[in-house]
Structure 1
Amino acid sequence: MNVKINRNAAKALKKMLEAEDAQGKMFRVVVTNIHGDHAHYDLMLDTPTENDEVVKTDKDIDFILEKGDQYLDGVWIQYFQVPQEEWVITNPTMGGHHHHH
């Protein structure tokens, strides 16, 4: 499975991981809703279970994904500050629909 994040997202996520309540946890990408060929996504702090896969990124942040969920494989997490602060989570392999977080 694969997760891609942009530089701004990596910076923001690393900062969140430094918080006291994040100690020992990783970010989990979850599917919150499915519409036909695309899904809506969210991020949460969690710990992996036996049903999960820990996926490493090129930005030194590991993510938890539920094994075998086709909507999670290839997810792209982006954080933008202009024109406004927003998180955009997409999966280009599943229709490219995005979710503003």
Structure 2
Amino acid sequence: MKTTTEQIAEKLRMKRLQHGMTVEKLSEIADVSVGTISTLERKIKVNLSITTLLKLMNALSIEPYELFGSADPSIDELLEDNRALEEKLQNIADIINSKPE
């Protein structure tokens, strides 16, 4: 079973890769040493301070719920999902209505 630190390290690494960032670039943006980031990503025991974690989260645009658990989606996210579903339903209805009988 993964520890919380290992889970956080994995999520930070995945987010870094999604952003197309190297460890060096993240280090520069977050003002955290390359060694700290590398050690964390290799899941070697590291004493990660809240300050360092917040720097990494800010540099990677990570919300706390992304690291520590899910939160209920925001109203804006729900409305966007609803609009997307309405568009898909309308496309399906258009296809059905355009078929000759």
Normalising TM by the smaller chain, what interval?
under 0.3
The two structures have a TM-score, normalised by structure 2, of 0.27
The two structures have a TM-score, normalised by structure 1, of 0.27
In our comparison, the structure showing a higher alpha carbon Rg is 2
Does 1 or 2 have the higher relative contact order (CA < 8 Å, sep 6+)?
1
